[in-house]
Amino acid sequence: PMLPEPHPFPTTHHTSLPAGRLSAGGPLLGVWAHPDDEAFMSAGLMAAARRDGRRVVILTMTAGELGTADPARWPAARLGALRRHELRAGLAALDVTEHHVVGLPDGGCERFDATPLIERAMRDVRPATIVTFGPDGFTGHPDHKAVHRWTTRAWRATGHRGTLLYATVTPSFHTDFAHLNDAVRLWSVGDGRRAATPEAALSHRIRLSGHDLDQKVAALRAHASQTSGMIAAVGEDAFRRWWADESFVAAHPRDRGRAVTRRGPGRSPAAPRAMAAAASSPGPAVRDPRRERTG
Amino acid making up residue 190: G
Chain segment 59-95, per-residue pLDDT in tens: 999 999 999 989 999 999 999 999 999 999 999 999 9
Predicted pLDDT of residue 195: 82
Which element (helix H / strand E) includes 38? helix 37-51
Distance in angstroms (rounded) separating the CA atoms of residues 18 and 148: 23
The residues, ordered by sequence, that sit 6+ positions from 156 with a Cβ below 8 Å of its Cβ are none
Task: Write the CA distances from 197 to 38, 77, 175, 188, 201, integer angstroms.
Answer: 19, 36, 13, 14, 7
Predicted pLDDT of residue 259: 56
- 59, β-bridge pairs: 31, 100
Helix (H, G, I), strand (E, B) or coil at 193: coil
> Which own/partner pairs from 252-257 qualify as long-range (CB within 8 Å, at least 24 positions apart)?
252/160, 252/163, 252/164, 254/19, 255/17, 255/19, 255/20, 255/163, 255/164, 255/165, 255/203, 256/19, 256/20, 256/203, 257/19, 257/20, 257/21, 257/203
> Is the per-residue pLDDT at 32 higher than 60?
yes
Task: Report all structural domains of the chain as residue ranges with CATH numbers, in order of start.
Answer: 28-291 (3.40.50.10320)
Chain segment 165-220, per-residue pLDDT in tens: 999 999 999 899 988 888 877 655 455 567 889 999 999 999 999 999 999 999 99
pTM above 0.75, yes or no: yes
- Please state whether beta strands 163-168 and 204-208 pair in parallel, antiparallel, or not at all (unpaired): unpaired
Distance in angstroms (rounded) separating the CA atoms of residues 120 and 6: 9
